[in-house]
Structure 1
Amino acid sequence: MLQNLYVKNLALIEELDMEFTEGLNILTGETGTGKSILMGSIGLALGGKYAADMIREGAESGLVELTFLVQDPQQQKKLQDLGVETEEDQVILSRKISGKRSVSRINGETVQKSRLSDVASLLIDIHGQHEHQSLLQKKNHLEILDSFIGEKAFEKKREIRHCHQEYHRLRRKLEQGSARSANSGRELDLLLYEVKEIEEARITPKEDMELEKTYHKMLHGKRIRDALWETVRYTREGGESAGDALSRGVRSLAAVADLDGEVDSLYQQLVQIEGLLEDFHRDLDHCSHSLEFSPEEFEETEERLNLLNHLKAKYGASVEEILEACQKKKEKIAILKDFDGYLKRLEDKVKETGRILHEKAGELSELRREYAARLEPMIEEGLRDLNFESVVFQISLEEANACTADGIDEAEFMVSLNPGQSPKPLIRVASGGELSRLMLVIKTITARKGQTDTLIFDEIDVGISGRTAQKVSEKMAVIGKHHQVLCVTHLAQIAAMADTHFRITKTTKEDSVKTQISRLNEKEQVEELARILGGAKITEAVRKNASEMKELAFQIKSDI
């Protein structure tokens, strides 16, 4: 459930903080007051597109923050699968925009916009002003059916997509193999030469690093030896060396060390220093001996390095990459030595993968036909509830020319809105208002099957009035019994059904215009209904009508 919406510095909104409730939350207001901006802000927080001019004039950035209460264990598990942990059963989604840049966060952690959208899809479903027009595209009909089927369809589609990718990967490999068949002899000769060149070098892992180290030491050997010999002269050889002076100091303190505790401590420290110097001289001798090499050794090391660098230039940046390249070339040689057999095995794999792909697509097709038969009467019943007195709804499923990542089906919604007429493609016969009502029915059914707690309907009343509007309002009340609903409307019949009613207004102060929102009490709700009904002049008769409408709505909701 959406608990809170916070918006700052977006379009006409300077700062807005809204607390929503369970059930049907209705938002009304005059045209141009900012209702669409408010809905757009929610869409923005859920990962929608934005433009720099959405930021309120004079502000550097805009912010939208949504706080959701998530108490359903299954929904919490799905969020965990997406890497989101609830904090005190809450999830906070936010989006900050500044210039051409936006930052998305979940519970304060910066995330990619795509991940924000994935999480949002579990929490909320938005029906925008023009979303019903998506029904005019046949490809969306199949998506609606799959959404109704739910996880069974999504699991099958995941399998099909994986198989579809593998099938086309193997086909490309087969096509490439067939194309290089004529040149396979030349390619085999080259590979044999390259493998021979690498193997004759007899290189070992990390050999290049050890050689570089040795070569560097040889290259600078004289300079290093001179420095070491000079160090020996200062610390060990000659009467003035540090070693001789230290020995004399040790002998001097040894004579009096047992006469005083503090002197004895100093004596022990000096003995340790003498020992450290002896250890240093041993390491110095070892280092000096390691620098002893002949000109022949230097030449051999240099030649070996040149060979390795030559192989690196051809086969890889390191010895390990060269060895890996050699192994891959051997695998290609094995293929090319039996290239006809390789192509035959690859062709068999393509056929087998294609068979599995069509088998899985067939399983999904059967599932779609089963659920289409369930969905058709549900949509018919929903449409009758919305004042379609005589309606026939069918889902036509036909086999496509080729199997895609979504299977082998093409779906199209067929509808008859008048008695005696055979069902025809929805795209050809439905008006905007009829499409809007059909989308409302679809959203109601899919929401009932899914676990999305919050539904948003932005001006669901497009193209309807009178008795149809009353039917739509009753449908919204039914949905509000099982889900949290946010609905922007211009119709009094729908607004009267509100469990919680918000009024959006626009105020002008000096050179500044801003949108404000207020939650209405019972008396204010009646007054708002009267405004919607009465237009420019609100009479007592209009107020009485509004009050009766609110009472009737209360009775209808009590009977649901």
Structure 2
Amino acid sequence: MLYSLHVKNLALIKEQEIEFTKGLNILTGETGAGKSVIIGSVNLALGAKADAGLIRTGEEYALVELSFGLENDSQRKFFADMDIPVEEDGTVVIQRKIMQGRSVSKVCGETVTTKQLKDISNVLINIHGQNDHQELLHKNKHLEILDEYCINELKDLPDKLKKNLEKLNDIQKKLDETSIDENSRLREQELLEFEVNEIAEAELVLGEDEKLEASYHKMVNSRKISEAAGMAYSLIGAGESDENASDMIGRAVRELSSVSGYDKELEDLLSQLSDVENLLTDFNHSLSNYIDELEFDDEEFQTVEDRLNTINHLKDKYGGSVESVLAELDKKQARLDTLSDLDAHRNILLHELSEQKEVVLNLCKKISDIRKKGSKGLTDKLTKALVDLNFLDVKFGIGIGTDENNITSKGYDSVEFMISTNPGEKLRPLEKIASGGELSRIMLALKTVVADKDDISTLIFDEIDTGISGKTAWQVSKKLGELSANHQIICITHLPQIAAMADSHFMIEKGLSDGRTVTSIYSLSEDASTKELARLLGGEEITDATIKNAVEMRQMARDNKVK
């Protein structure tokens, strides 16, 4: 559930924190008080597009922070799989800081991407905005809702279908590549034969270019190397000068040897100097051998240079490295083999395509069968939920059509919700007969039915009461109360019938602070909640009659609330 919302420097909010409770959390306030900012701030924290214009005038940044509590194993597993550290008590803190030109999102202190943030929000909360019910006019949404209802039965079938469809499309792509005319085939084959021979004749060896580069670099700079090595040898070894390091150290050893018997400490120093003399002697031998081996002839140099030119030409042409050139050789050889016996290759692909299409069709059928079976249960439950929401003579149906020639990652089904709200009228597509108020109630009914199928414990409704009043408003209120028995509901409303059902009631109002307009949110006591109900019932002037009516409405809501 959502424990709290902390907002700072966002739009008209200076700094506010709301602590939500279990059950039904109701938010009310005057029109224009900033109710939409509350839902907007939650959406921002969960990855919605951020606009620097939302930062409160005069401030450098805006901050939104949500604190959730994980309530089931699937949520905990999700965060464990994402390698995000969660508090031992299951608390998850989502924070988004919005600055000029950029924003930073963190979950439990770990920086996350916008995509990761949206994935996280999908397992924690479900938000129904003011216009979301309009999605019901799109058939794609109908398929999504039905699959959501059938989620436990579908299991991993949609993922399997997606992978196998990708494999099918890959085979089809390869098959399409075989559809070339004879002249084109011969031209491509001739070019491939030239390229394959060009690479094969080079007989490339992995790592050969690096060794050749080192040898070539050494040969090109051999004169400098020779001069430097010779000078070093003359200074250290047995050169023409008597003042070389070897002779001088030898003299130093002899001098110390002549007096070392007089002092124990001199014996230790003599031992160290003797070690230096031995090391220098070994070095002189190594340097002398290096100088002797430094010689090379022009023919050897030309051989190395030509080989390097060949290798570098192939690298430039086929991929930048010996590994890439060899990989390209395998690829071109495989394509050449294909072109050499195109008919046989095409027949193999046709066989693979047929087998893979059978796999895909079988998965589509399994998914379709589950949908058709699930649609019956969804139809029954949704019809009952619609009756509860004052659709007295409603009939609801789900049409499922199949087209094996139109397979997508979701299968070959097309799903359409059908409804009749008047006696004697036949079922017709939802988009053709439902009004705005009816769509809101249908969406609420769907949320009620599907809510028990997922692990999301928090639902937000932004003015689910659009276009309704009177008895229908009471029915919507009862349905929200029913839904809040097992879910945390946060609902923005302007109807007293719905507000009366609140377990926790919050007031949103606009005022002045230090000469500036600010939006404030605070929890209402029982008496304050009653007065707010009276305002919703009777407007600005609150009379004893509206107070009495508000008290009765509150009691009626309690009597009707699901225990």
- The size of the alignment, in residue pairs, is 559
- Give per-residue Cα distances to partners, 1:109-156, cap 9 Å, x unaligned: 111111110111100000111111110111110100001111443622
The amino acid that maps onto 1:271 is S
* Corresponding residue number in structure 2 for 1:76: 76
- Give per-residue Cα distances to partners, 1:192-226, cap 9 Å, x unaligned: 23222222222221111111111111111111111
C-alpha spacing 1:447/1:286, structure 2 compared with 1 (3 Å)? farther
**1:108 partnered with 2:109:** yes
The amino acid that maps onto 1:173 is K
The amino acid that maps onto 1:441 is A
- Return the match for 1:416 from 411, 417, 420: 420
**1:398 partnered with 2:397:** no
Write the distance in 1 (CA, Å) between the matches of 2:151 and 2:431. Answer: 25
Write the distance in 2 (CA, Å) between the matches of 1:247 and 1:215. Answer: 39
The amino acid that maps onto 2:449 is I
Write the distance in 2 (CA, Å) between the matches of 1:279 and 1:512. Answer: 86
**1:195 partnered with 2:199:** no
The amino acid that maps onto 1:33 is A
The amino acid that maps onto 1:514 is V
* Corresponding residue number in structure 2 for 1:377: 380
**1:291 partnered with 2:294:** yes
**1:495 partnered with 2:499:** yes
Structure 1 contact 5–64 (Cα < 8 Å) conserved: yes
Per the normalisation by structure 1, the TM-score is 0.96
What are structure 1's unaligned runs of at least 5 residues? none
Write the distance in 2 (CA, Å) between the matches of 1:214 and 1:65. Answer: 62
* Corresponding residue number in structure 1 for 2:54: 54
**1:507 partnered with 2:511:** yes
The amino acid that maps onto 2:57 is E
Pairing of 1:85-104 with structure 2 (within 5 A): 85-88=85-88, 89-104=90-105
* Corresponding residue number in structure 2 for 1:430: 434
Deviation at 1:180, TM superposition (A): 5.7
The root-mean-square deviation of aligned C-alpha atoms, in Å, is 1.7
Runs of 4+ residues over 6 Å off in structure 1: none
What is the SS of the residue equivalent to 1:270?
helix
What is the SS of the residue equivalent to 1:84?
coil
- Give per-residue Cα distances to partners, 1:453-497, cap 9 Å, x unaligned: 101011111111111111111111111110111111111111111
Structure 2 contact 16–520 (Cα < 8 Å) conserved: yes
Deviation at 1:328, TM superposition (A): 2.0
After alignment, is 327-336 or 449-458 more displaced?
A: 327-336
Write the distance in 1 (CA, Å) between the matches of 2:6 and 2:513. Answer: 22
Percent identity for Structure 1 against Structure 2: 43
* Corresponding residue number in structure 1 for 2:309: 306
Structure 1 contact 76–85 (Cα < 8 Å) conserved: no
* Corresponding residue number in structure 1 for 2:213: 212
* Corresponding residue number in structure 1 for 2:23: 23
What are structure 2's unaligned runs of at least 5 residues? none
* Corresponding residue number in structure 2 for 1:168: 169
What is the SS of the residue equivalent to 1:63?
strand
Write the distance in 2 (CA, Å) between the matches of 1:19 and 1:253. Answer: 88
Write the distance in 1 (CA, Å) between the matches of 2:168 and 2:518. Answer: 57
Per the normalisation by structure 2, the TM-score is 0.96
- Give per-residue Cα distances to partners, 1:502-555, cap 9 Å, x unaligned: 111111235411111111111111111111112020011111111122222222
Structure 1 contact 70–86 (Cα < 8 Å) conserved: no
**1:483 partnered with 2:484:** no
- Give per-residue Cα distances to partners, 1:159-207, cap 9 Å, x unaligned: 2222222222222221122126542223223322322222222222111
After alignment, is 495-504 or 269-278 more displaced?
A: 269-278
The amino acid that maps onto 1:8 is K
Deviation at 1:289, TM superposition (A): 2.9
Write the distance in 2 (CA, Å) between the matches of 1:493 and 1:258. Answer: 113
Pairing of 1:307-386 with structure 2 (within 5 A): 307-386=310-389
Structure 2 contact 216–305 (Cα < 8 Å) conserved: yes
The amino acid that maps onto 2:535 is R
